[in-house]
A = this chain, B = another copy of it.
């Protein structure tokens, strides 16, 4: 997921061209920000990055833009323990469902694309399962390294 700025720009254009809506400044900026981030971001995080880049995105527009990106399958929405939604870009449309890791120290949320929720054996069969999210918590690579010197 480490892309050069040019690769990010190219991916943004590709993804937006494929989607059935208009390509606007807000959508480009937000998707660019998501693709550039190593972790999932919430609204607040995205607003901050936008501010750093001297982009001003209206709060409501940001909400709507993120909804739209999720609808288009270009971003995915992650529920978190701190009652806000987190978002991460979906660069390839065939991305598998995967686990998320919430670091209790730095509060970042990582997508662990290689870790999936295991199939369940003893779920009573009267429950009709549609989604299974595996939400891990603990300390992330970076914080762990910082702590252990």
In Å, the complex CA distance between A131 and B101 comes to: 10
* Central interface residue in A120, A127, A137, A139, by most chain B CB within 10 Å: A127
Interface pair B123/A112, CB less than 8 Å apart: yes
Which range contains the number of A residues in contact with the other chain?
35 or more
Instruction: For A127, give its contact among B101, B129, B135 (CB under 8 Å).
Output: B101
Q: Given A79-B80, A79-B81, A81-B79, A127 and B132 touching (CB < 8 A)?
A: no
Stretch at the interface among A3-11, A13-21, A140-148: A140-148
Known interface pairs A112-B123, A115-B122, A128-B138; 11 further A-B residue pairs with C-beta atoms within 8 A, sorted by A's residue number? A79-B79, A79-B80, A79-B135, A101-B123, A104-B130, A126-B141, A127-B139, A127-B144, A128-B139, A129-B136, A132-B136
